[in-house]
Each structure stands twice: as C-alpha cells, then as structure tokens.
Amino acid sequence: MRLPRVEDIEKRLPTPEDFTSRARGTELTARVGTALGITFGICFLTGMWSHFQYDPPGWLPIGPQPTQLYRVTQGLHVMSGMAAIPLLLVKLWGVYPRLFILPPKKLSRAFVVDVLEKASIGVLVAAGIFQLASGALNIAQWYPWAFSFRRTHEAVAWVAIGALLVHIAVKLPIIRTALGADLEDRDDDHHDSTDDDDEQHGPTRRSVLLGASAASGLAVLLTAGQTVPFLRKISVFGVRDGDGPEDLPINRTARAARTDKTALDPNFRLEVMVGGATMAFSREQLMALPQRTHRLPIACVEGWSRSALWTGVSVCDLIELAGGNPDSDVKVRSLQTKGGFGTSDLPANFVRDHRTLLALELNGEALTLDHGYPCRIIAPNRPGVLQTKWVRQLEVKA
C-alpha cells in the first residue's frame, strides 16, 4: 500500500472558501467573542473567590458577613458558565474554517507566527472546553475522572484566562474594527451586486447572533431557578432542586455517606473537646439548651442555594458552656467516615457569630436524617460543602 503524499492530503482538505455561510465573519465573531469574554471573566473572578471561601488566605479573612455573599458569587459562577456554553459553540463554528488556512510552505518568520498563533488558540480552546465541560459534569455530580476536580479546575482556569488575555491582546485591532462595523457588513468584494446572497448560504449574522443570545439567555434562566426562588419551577438544569424533605434539596443522603445507622443510634452523644476535657451531650440535652433561630442559606458550590429557618444551639454558647473560649478555631468532625466533606474547619470569626449554629431543627421540624440528624453546622456566608451534617464532635483549638 502506498502512503498518501502531503500534496494529496492538501488537495482533499477544504479551503476557507469552501465554507460559504454568509453569517461568518469578524463582525459576528467579535460580538459573540465579547459576550464570551465577559462570561469567562465572571467565571474566573467568582471561581477564584470560591477558592478563597474554601481556604481563606491570611491576607483576606473572609467572615460571616455579608450573609448571602457566597450564594451570589457561586450562583453567578454557575450561571455565567452555563451562558458561555452556547456562546463558545457559536464562536467555534464561526472561526473553525480558519483552521484550514495552511501555514506558508517555507520555514519563515510568517510560518513561525502562524504556527504559534494556532498553538495559542489551541490552548485557549482546549482550556475553555475543559473548564465548561468539567464544570457542567461537576454540577451533575458525575466524575468520570481520577483527578481532583477542584485543583484541576483552578489550575486550568489560570491557563484559560492567560490564553484569553493573549488572544484579546493579539486580536485587539481586528476586534475594534469589527465592533465598529455594522453587523451585516460584508467582508468580501460583492458590496455592489444585489444577487450576491444567492452565492452565500445559511442564516444571516443577525439571526445567528440572536440565536446565540437566546440560547445563552435560556441557559441562564433555566439555571437561575436553582437559586432564585420564583424561577424554581422552570429550573430544569437545577440538578438538585428536587424537593427534599423540609423543602430543601439534599446533596448527599445519609445512606450515601453511610451515616444512616450511626446517626440513629440512641446512644449518640455530641462531644465538645476543650483542651484535654471532653463534654458529651445527648440530642435531648442539646434541645434543652437555649435555642436560637436564624434564616440562613445553604449555598452549594454547584450553584444551587436555598434559604431556610434553622433552630439550634449557637456554637459559641456551646463552647462557653464547655469552658472554652468562643474566640477559637473549631474542628468539626462528622459521623461520616468515607468520602469527602466528613470534616470541616470553623474559623474563629465564624464561631464568634452567634448565628453559627449547631442546628437541630429545620423550618420548625426536627432535622431529618438526610439533612444531618442528629445535628449539623449552619453558618452564614459559608460554602455548602462546609455546612457539615451528622456532626459528632467539635474540637476547640487552643
């Protein structure tokens, strides 16, 4: 068998002229690209903020105020990510014929520039697709990979934003001209002829732009319902908007966390460790302590959030009762022994806030098993994953 020669392959490749849609052109891609750049920018900033909320850096002590902050930033993160998906698809459709502009034949400066430009766009496209796909799969709680989602999503975010800034810088002159021009301006030489539409096919730029905006807007609307109450009914993308008990979604059930037996053990005791001493409380004893009620949201990293009325003992009251200083960091341990999120750290500035509860009731009823019975942590402005359920121990740090 004879191997095909390079010239044969080149002859079979399409050329940019083979793509005849009249909608393509910088006037379209610059506009879709601007919208895409804005959504990526929001995603990047809110995403970095989420990492800060997980592990507050020393120079930025994030506290319990404003109560709804994480709910807003993470809601925006997921909504802008969903909005970006149709925009990215349209943008790629708009520009992919340019892939078939072959580099100059000879090794020259132009050749190197061409290859470098294609490589940098390759990095941007790969990083962008990876971020949107991994984010969407994470919302669906489907992890078909072995790496840490959080660490990888964060690292690739830097690659994506870096490549995006380079791309914008390189294309700035083209972008400015294109945004200044009328959307339906033709790039080609057929300005004067009236029948040029016959040679070019497909929808107009205006309708492609309209379609992209509509798809993007719809993605936002369908996602927003998982955090904006009055949109709840139409939130088909809200994976966990399912009505859990007490009108609150459930992220991981007790059975999935394998706490369904231990949590119902009548001998359950909550331990509060201060220095070397440990104080133990049954659920009845906790119920007999002064109770506080606060309206606080659960704001999941996956973008859904819901406010509810929580009743229980303030963590600071409990620590004082056990002889500890309520100005301390607290380690929270749950009955969950397998999988992530079984423990969390409650920094002193959260402990000091009396709204930080060891909750026993939700919306006026005893906590259900899946919402963390016998007791769970609820604190203002705290990512959902840190609102530890099935708490068995609070260790007050020195």
* Nearer Cβ to ligand MTE (204/368): 368
Minimum CB–partner distance for residue 254 and ligand MTE (Å): 9
Q: Is the backbone peptide bond immediately before 66 cis, with ω within 30 degrees of 0?
A: yes
Other residues' Cβ atoms within 10 Å of the Cβ of residue 320: 13
Asked if 340 and 324 count as a contact pair (C-beta separation under 8 A), the reply is no
* Nearer Cβ to ligand MTE (124/391): 391
Exposed (0-12), middle (13-18) or buried (19+): which is 11, by Cβ within 10 Å? Answer: exposed
Minimum CB–partner distance for residue 246 and ligand MTE (Å): 9
Q: Does 385 participate in binding ligand MTE (rule CB under 6 A)? A: yes
Pick one of ligand MTE, Mo ion, none as the site partner of residue 336 (Cβ within 5 to 8 A by kind): ligand MTE
* CA dihedral of residues 379, 384, 386, 392 (deg, nearest 10): 80
* Nearer Cβ to ligand MTE (36/359): 359
For the window 231-250, what string marks contact with ligand MTE as x by the rule CB under 6 A? Answer: -----------------xxx
Asked if 163 and 127 count as a contact pair (C-beta separation under 8 A), the reply is yes
Q: Does 334 participate in binding ligand MTE (rule CB under 6 A)? A: yes
Number of residues that bind ligand MTE (CB under 6 A): 20
| 3-state SS, residue 331 | strand
Q: Does 47 participate in binding ligand MTE (rule CB under 6 A)? A: no
Report the alpha-carbon distance of residue 373 to residue 363 in Å, rounded.
Answer: 14
Pick one of Mo ion, ligand MTE, none as the site partner of residue 250 (Cβ within 5 to 8 A by kind): ligand MTE
* Nearer Cβ to ligand MTE (127/300): 300
Pick one of ligand MTE, Mo ion, none as the site partner of residue 342 (Cβ within 5 to 8 A by kind): ligand MTE
366, β-bridge pairs: 361
Asked if 372 and 391 count as a contact pair (C-beta separation under 8 A), the reply is yes
Per CB under 6 A, residues contacting ligand MTE are 248-252, 257, 298, 300, 334, 336, 341-342, 371-372, 384-385, 387-390
